[in-house]
């Protein structure tokens, strides 16, 4: 028999209204696919266990996320279409804002069963090959000017690793409109002044 964790009930209840049915649905599908599943909270997010980590879910202000612990062995080989992985958000399924954004129940259940099989067989997640560091991008003029006007932001930005600085530079320079770029620049200054990296919301997840 599987187990439930009242902390996950509380997490769902405290989530935004749009997120509650999404989280509840994911939870039900996981339990149906893995009757022995055990629930827990890790890194402040709901997780599902079976002889180790299976998957986890999370709710943010405008989207939810679903991720499999050994996702590269489970989802990466899926055929394009239903359940196609994405790098748009934490997990393998992008930004989930409605139930329609989820793969079908059968697809999710299939991923759960594959995760169970890997855990049954003691398969470990493959180590990511170390890549040579990419050259640091030049700080664009508008970002440099914004940082120059804020001592706290400038200090934090200069203390960040090259990869952390690159994330902000790419986010700003990839904006498709001037308005979007200005908005991202303002958000960057706010987060950097607080010592936050570009993907701080997903750190330790």
For range 106-118, the mean pLDDT: 95
Q: How big is the CA angle at 34 (ends 32 and 35), to the nearest 5 degrees? A: 75
For range 87-112, the mean pLDDT: 87
**What are the tens digits of pLDDT across the range 163-175?**
889 899 999 999 8
Co-location of 84 and 11 in the same domain:
yes
**What are the tens digits of pLDDT across the range 142-196?**
999 999 999 999 999 999 988 889 899 999 999 899 999 999 999 999 999 999 9
Q: Residue 37 falls within a domain, yes or no?
A: yes
Contact (Cβ atoms closer than 8 angstroms) between residue 137 and residue 166: yes
Position 131 pLDDT exceeds 80? no
Co-location of 90 and 182 in the same domain:
no
Which residues constitute the domain of residue 163?
141-202
Co-location of 95 and 163 in the same domain:
no
Q: What is the mean pLDDT of the chain?
A: 86
Position 112 pLDDT exceeds 90? yes
Co-location of 34 and 95 in the same domain:
yes
- Pick from 49-53, 83-87, 177-181, 185-189: least confident: 83-87
SS3 79: coil
Position 86 pLDDT exceeds 60? no
Position 134 pLDDT exceeds 90? no
Position 198 pLDDT exceeds 50? yes
Question: What DSSP element (H or E) covers 45?
Answer: strand 45-49
Dist. CA 27–CA 14, nearest whole Å? 16
Co-location of 28 and 84 in the same domain:
yes
pLDDT value at residue 196: 92
pLDDT value at residue 113: 96
Dist. CA 113–CA 1, nearest whole Å? 16
Position 74 pLDDT exceeds 80? yes
Using 50, 70 and 90 to split pLDDT, how confident is the model at 202?
A: low
pLDDT value at residue 133: 58
Look at strands 53-59 and 64-68 and give their pairing.
Answer: antiparallel
Q: Residue 125 falls within a domain, yes or no?
A: no
Co-location of 102 and 38 in the same domain:
yes
pLDDT value at residue 1: 63
Q: Residue 169 falls within a domain, yes or no?
A: yes
Higher pLDDT, 64 or 78: 64
């Amino acid at each position: 028999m599987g187990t439930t964790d009242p902390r996950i009930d509380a997490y769902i209840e405290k989530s935004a209204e749009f997120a509650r049915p999404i989280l509840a649905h994911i939870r039900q599908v996981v339990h149906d696919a893995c009757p022995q599943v055990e629930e827990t909270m890790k890194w402040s997010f709901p997780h599902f266990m079976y002889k180790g980590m299976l998957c986890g879910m999370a709710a943010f202000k405008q989207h939810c996320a679903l991720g499999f612990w050994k996702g590269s062995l489970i989802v990466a080989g899926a055929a394009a279409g239903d359940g196609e992985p994405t790098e748009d958000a934490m997990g393998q399924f992008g930004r989930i804002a409605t139930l329609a954004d989820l793969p079908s129940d059968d697809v999710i259940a299939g991923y759960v069963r594959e995760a169970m099989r890997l855990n049954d067989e003691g398969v470990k997640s493959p180590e990511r090959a170390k890549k040579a560091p990419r050259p640091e991008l030049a700080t664009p003029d508008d970002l440099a000017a914004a940082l120059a006007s804020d001592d706290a932001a400038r200090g934090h930005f200069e203390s960040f690793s090259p990869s952390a600085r690159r994330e902000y530079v790419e986010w700003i320079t990839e904006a498709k409109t001037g308005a979007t770029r200005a908005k991202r620049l303002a958000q960057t200054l706010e987060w950097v002044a607080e010592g936050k990296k570009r993907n701080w919301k997903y750190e330790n997840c």
